[in-house]
Structure 1
């Protein structure tokens, strides 16, 4: 039976790489699929991974109706056995419901990939709806690491080197924010997320005489 599966995790845990690999594996077995993405770091209509791999994809806008898009493709004589849906956290709840409908009524496997929570530790609307509707939610086993070496569990937004916890939910990284600062993202363990201590702040603290060693290194992994 067809399934709607949500592969989730923090940034840097290989979601897009897995999406590309799954498409390759299915295509190698003669299956035909459609690839979707939204706000990929490489630009419009591209699914890319940080390893340098990429492929063309259909760009998801808020107005896109997955049901209509897939049915139109099938009606035109195209073949669809599965969908690859990257950056699914940015999809609207209604679009996620449309994906569930496609799985149930068209019997198509749908593989969604995305971040669960934003830089404020709040669920993205698309991710929340996927958790509610997916047949399976699978956390990726490749662990992203905090600067301290521990498993990273939170996505932090960094503006000009300083971690922030306020602002618009969706801002693409490596861009100028409304305030003129450069926006980037970093994965942190929970302790350092709660302390607002990203790698830049940790480096500055390590050079300060006002910071005791245990205040900085309590979460650090001992050298091997």
Structure 2
């Protein structure tokens, strides 16, 4: 039976790489699928991985209707699966459309996305996916905080400073820029301590105390 599967994790854990690999595996077995994404780092209509892989994809917008997208393909042959990247940005209605495709047309849907934003709040799309998915798979490739611990939270920085207020969706990447993102462990997210601020503190008085406090937990 077809399934709605949600693959989740923090940034830098290989979601887009897995999405590309999954599409390759299914296509190599003769299955026909469609690839969707929204606000990819490479621009519109692209699904890209930080490893350098990139393919053409269909850009999801606020008005995208997945049911119409799939049924509109019937003249070109049946669609057997969907790969949906950056699914945290999808609306709740769009997630419900995906579930309907699984249940009524028997199409496999593989959705990929992060669960929480830079404020540690759930994205509406991710929330609905968790509620409706047949399976939620947490990716096993662990992202690491600058301290070496497992990264569990996504942090947004503006001009190098971590922020916890602002619009939920602001396009950026983990590279340096006016708006960028960094993955942190919970401890350092709560302390608002990014790799940059940690380097600054390391050269200031009292840094030895901070280092010992981190080691002691």
The two structures have a TM-score, normalised by structure 1, of 0.92
Distance 1:133 1:214 in 2: 47
How far does the alpha carbon of each residue in 1:3-28 deviate from its partner, in whole angstroms, 9 at most, with x for none?
00000000000000000000000011
Secondary structure at 2:12's aligned position in 1?
Answer: coil
Distance in 2 (CA, whole Å) between partners of 1:220 and 1:82 is: 47
CA contact (8 A) 1:36 1:58 kept: yes
RMSD: 1.6
Does residue 40 of the first structure (1) align with residue 40 of the second (2)?
yes
| 4+ residue segments displaced more than 6 Å | none
What stretches of structure 2 of length at least 5 have no aligned partner? none
Q: CA deviation at 1:215?
A: 1.5
Supply the distance in 2 between the matched residues of 1:217 and 1:71 (Cα, whole angstroms): 60
The separation in 1 between residues aligned to 2:130 and 2:204, in whole angstroms, is 43
* Number of residue pairs the alignment of both structures matches: 214
Q: Distance in 2 between matches of 1:80 and 1:157?
A: 37
Q: Distance in 2 between matches of 1:218 and 1:142?
A: 28
Quote the residue 1:72 is aligned against. Answer: 72
The answer as to whether partners of 1:32 and 1:81 remain within 8 angstroms in 2 is yes
Cα deviation digits, residues 21-44 of structure 1 (max 9, x gap): 000000111111000000000000
Per the alignment, residue 90 of structure 1 pairs with 89
- Assess if the C-alpha contact under 8 Å between 1:150 and 1:219 holds in 2: no
Q: Check if 1:207 corresponds to 2:206.
A: no
What is the TM-score when the length of structure 2 is the normalising length? 0.95
2:166 equivalent in structure 1: 167
Contact in 2 for aligned 1:174/1:182 (Cα 8 Å):
no
